[in-house]
């Protein structure tokens, strides 16, 4: 018995000697790092003594290597530090961000190979970030990742808000389910041909939102995705363990690394209050400070565009339907017959410029202005976009002068059609063309397979292209709004000219059959964790057949909900996406879009529950004007909020744009009310939000007459 006791004591002592602990600055998070008996790195995380991450393995499996970076490690050094700074973003939800964490850097040595691996942990008051670092060394210089084996062992069969682990798109509605249900739901979707089959049947994408049965909200994501493949998560649904699943390239490899190098940060944001997840700035704090030396040219933008009319089918991107002529090499488009439905014509664009100028907007986007759309839609790659040649009915110089005379900037559109090398060849010429014609921002697109060899949209190679495009644009003082690109991971802190991304199911899907009515109550907990989204809100006509007779889609939202999105879906790039004629029918409601800010000094998350509701109050940059937005899910709900964030002793006029009593996203979406009341910091407001509805409030100092 004594001998058994000694053996157990020695075994426990073995693990204790390898244990390293780290606490968050406020002491609520506690992380333990250990090595298992075979030298496998393991970590676990608790929050307020509740389990967040059970013991989980760390490491990387290498390709064509006798020994992977998975085990056989010893700890050679541990360094603990504390960091605390406050930095000011170029644009954002707040005017300053505190970056406060305790750090533990654990250096490991692999005995058999004498290789070094450093794992750096940072604990903030709102969660954890950690990454792998590969120091410069003789025994690990060039290597290929077969798979990253980072685990996130969940505390049970908890609830998740997820989309499939697709390598090429995030444009899915979110599913809410238990972890144990993911496999069956994925298989059901594949049977119905609603999803690809190239990824794991239990694979999901980040940012992944989770909720435990005892009320913990957990978000899994990554930060600072640079020169590395985007991380998905694959679920072991017997043990409820997520493991990293990197996006492969066209050959199936997951990454090519040359030391010294680092991986992106893996992030775990946690709270027992859902509002804290929305307010977290971990993703930005784990990115490097701004690398653009002079940033005065980077400005938030409220814009309109020749876009929704093409999305709905009212007009076309292409100038002609004469596909045979185009495919035979005709490049003089004055010699082909126009189709009569081309949206990007000079007269139509002037109409948008006029409306934008009359209503205080900053810019107008035009899609379909340049030759190449016929060839792309005709599925021929003989003719590709050159990003400088306009159709004959789009006068670049005339529109530049006209927009300038109205105080409106033009936003360029570059659809690459996935031909990335072609875009890179033309990029300098295209950016010079933009600057010569007064364009300071570009919306880029990557629709279709990535050429030339069929890369996935989120593999290391194409991630590097997206980064190259951002940095190249910065050198020309051009802002970027990238669509179909990899989801953001806080890169906008380092390169704030990245003022928008799509990388999720946006408003366009309301014209492609619709999105779930609660979609916008999930996106801020998932996609927006990494950065702002160009969601393109502001749809006032929900019956798409009234825009295009051939399109019978319905926008699953009330009009009041569309107004609220300008506050709840944070972005320094906000579009009024509908047609001018639809806004003209509801100018009293359109007033909120005209008034609402796009840059903020402060943000207060007043109510939040993923998939159910979100209520946000934001203070306009440099002003004492506040705006509130509430978006609601499938069920009628009464929102009750206090206005205690207002200055004490001052009176304000609140204009409340709300769902009417009979409003419903499906049956009566345009039913709304507008009322004005006087409020103070002691006021409390109670407002009913319809299914798929919400409300928007502008709060301006002073009492209206």
H or E element at residue 160: strand 159-162
Q: How far apart are CA 658 and CA 673, in angstroms?
A: 5
Choose, from 93, 374, 502, 508, the residue flagged as catalytic. Answer: 508
Instruction: Give me the helices (H) in 314-456, please.
Output: 323-327, 346-358, 373-377, 396-405, 420-436
Q: How far apart are CA 319 and CA 316, in angstroms?
A: 7
Kindly provide the residue ranges of all beta strands, DSSP E only, lying in 224-327, ordered along the sequence. 231-236, 241-246, 255-258, 261-262, 265-271, 301-306
Q: How far apart are CA 583 and CA 576, in angstroms?
A: 9
- Beta strands 127-134 and 50-57, pairing class: unpaired
415 part of the active site: no
H or E element at residue 15: helix 2-18
Q: How far apart are CA 541 and CA 554, in angstroms?
A: 9
Q: How far apart are CA 387 and CA 430, in angstroms?
A: 6
Among residues 191, 203, 576, the alpha carbon closest in space to that of 361 is found at 576
Instruction: Specify whether the CB–CB gap between 116 and 107 falls below 8 A.
Output: yes
Task: Look at the alpha carbons of 423, 425, 431, 432 in this order and tell me if their dihedral is positive or negative.
Answer: negative
Secondary structure class of 563 (helix, strand, coil): helix
State how far the alpha carbon of 287 is from the alpha carbons of 38, 308, 367, in Å: 33, 34, 32
Helix 587-595 to helix 559-568 angle (10° resolution) is: 0
Mind telling me the catalytic residues? 508
């Amino acid at each position: 018995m004594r001998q058994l006791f000694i053996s157990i004591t020695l075994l426990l002592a073995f693990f204790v000697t390898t244990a390293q602990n780290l606490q968050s600055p406020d002491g609520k998070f506690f992380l333990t790092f250990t090595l298992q008996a075979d030298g496998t790195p393991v970590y676990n995380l608790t929050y307020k003594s509740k389990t967040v991450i059970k013991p989980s393995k760390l490491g990387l499996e290498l390709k064509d290597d006798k020994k992977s970076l998975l085990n056989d490690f010893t700890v050679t050094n541990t360094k603990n530090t504390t960091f605390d700074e406050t930095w000011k973003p170029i644009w954002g939800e707040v005017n300053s961000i505190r970056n406060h964490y305790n750090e533990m850097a654990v250096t490991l040595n692999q005995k058999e190979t004498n290789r070094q691996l450093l794992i750096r942990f940072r604990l903030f008051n709102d969660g954890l970030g950690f990454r792998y670092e590969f120091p410069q060394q003789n025994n690990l210089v060039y290597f290929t990742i077969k798979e990253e084996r980072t685990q996130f062992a969940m505390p049970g069969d908890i609830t998740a808000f997820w989309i499939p682990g697709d390598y090429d798109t995030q444009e899915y509605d979110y599913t809410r389910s238990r972890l144990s249900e993911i496999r069956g739901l994925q298989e059901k979707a594949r049977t119905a041909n609603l999803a690809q089959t190239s990824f794991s049947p239990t694979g999901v994408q980040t940012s992944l939102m989770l909720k435990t049965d005892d009320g913990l909200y957990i978000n899994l994501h990554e930060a600072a995705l640079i020169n590395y493949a985007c991380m998905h998560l694959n679920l072991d649904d017997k043990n409820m363990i997520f493991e990293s699943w990197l996006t492969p390239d066209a050959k199936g490899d997951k990454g090519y690394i040359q030391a010294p190098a680092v991986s992106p940060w893996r992030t775990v944001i946690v709270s027992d209050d859902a509002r804290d997840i929305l307010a977290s700035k971990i993703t930005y704090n784990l990115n490097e400070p701004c690398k653009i030396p002079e940033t005065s040219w980077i400005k938030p933008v409220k814009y309109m565009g020749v876009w929704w009319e093409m999305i709905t089918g009212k007009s076309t991107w292409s100038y002609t339907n004469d596909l045979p002529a185009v495919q035979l090499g005709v490049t003089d488009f004055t010699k082909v017959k126009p189709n009569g439905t081309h949206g990007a014509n000079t007269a139509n664009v002037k109409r948008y410029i006029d409306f934008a100028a009359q209503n205080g907007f900053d810019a107008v986007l035009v899609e379909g202005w340049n030759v190449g759309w016929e060839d792309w839609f005709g599925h021929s790659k003989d003719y590709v976009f050159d990003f400088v040649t306009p159709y004959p009915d789009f006068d670049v110089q005339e529109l530049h002068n006209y927009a300038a005379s109205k105080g409106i900037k033009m936003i360029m559109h570059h659809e690459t059609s996935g031909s990335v090398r072609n875009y890179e060849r033309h990029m300098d010429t295209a950016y010079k063309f933009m600057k010569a014609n007064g364009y300071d921002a570009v919306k880029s697109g990557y629709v279709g397979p990535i050429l030339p060899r069929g890369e996935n949209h989120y593999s290391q190679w194409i991630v590097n292209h997206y980064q190259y495009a951002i940095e190249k644009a910065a050198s020309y003082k051009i802002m970027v709004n990238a669509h179909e690109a990899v989801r953001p991971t806080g890169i906008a802190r380092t390169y704030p000219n990245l003022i928008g991304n799509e990388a999720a199911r946006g408003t366009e899907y309301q014209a492609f059959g619709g999105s779930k009515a609660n979609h916008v109550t999930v996106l801020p907990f998932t996609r927006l964790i990494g950065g702002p989204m160009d969601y393109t809100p502001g749809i006032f006509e929900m019956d798409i057949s009234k825009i295009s007779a051939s399109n019978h889609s319905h926008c699953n939202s009330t009009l009041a909900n569309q107004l609220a999105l300008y506050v709840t879906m944070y972005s320094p790039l906000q579009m009024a996406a509908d047609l001018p004629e639809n806004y003209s029918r509801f100018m009293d409601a359109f007033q909120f879009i005209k008034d609402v800010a796009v840059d903020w000094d402060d943000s207060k998350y007043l109510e939040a529950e993923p998939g159910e509701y979100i209520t946000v109050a934001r203070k306009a940059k440099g002003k004492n004007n506040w705006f509130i937005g509430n978006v609601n899910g499938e069920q009628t709900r009464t929102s009750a909020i206090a206005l205690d964030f207002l200055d004490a002793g001052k009176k304000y006029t609140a204009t409340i744009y709300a769902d009417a009593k009979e409003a419903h996203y499906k049956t009566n979406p345009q039913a709304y009310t507008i009322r004005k009341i006087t409020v103070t910091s002691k006021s409390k407001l109670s407002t009913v939000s319809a299914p798929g509805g919400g409300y928007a409030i502008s709060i301006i100092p002073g009492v209206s007459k």
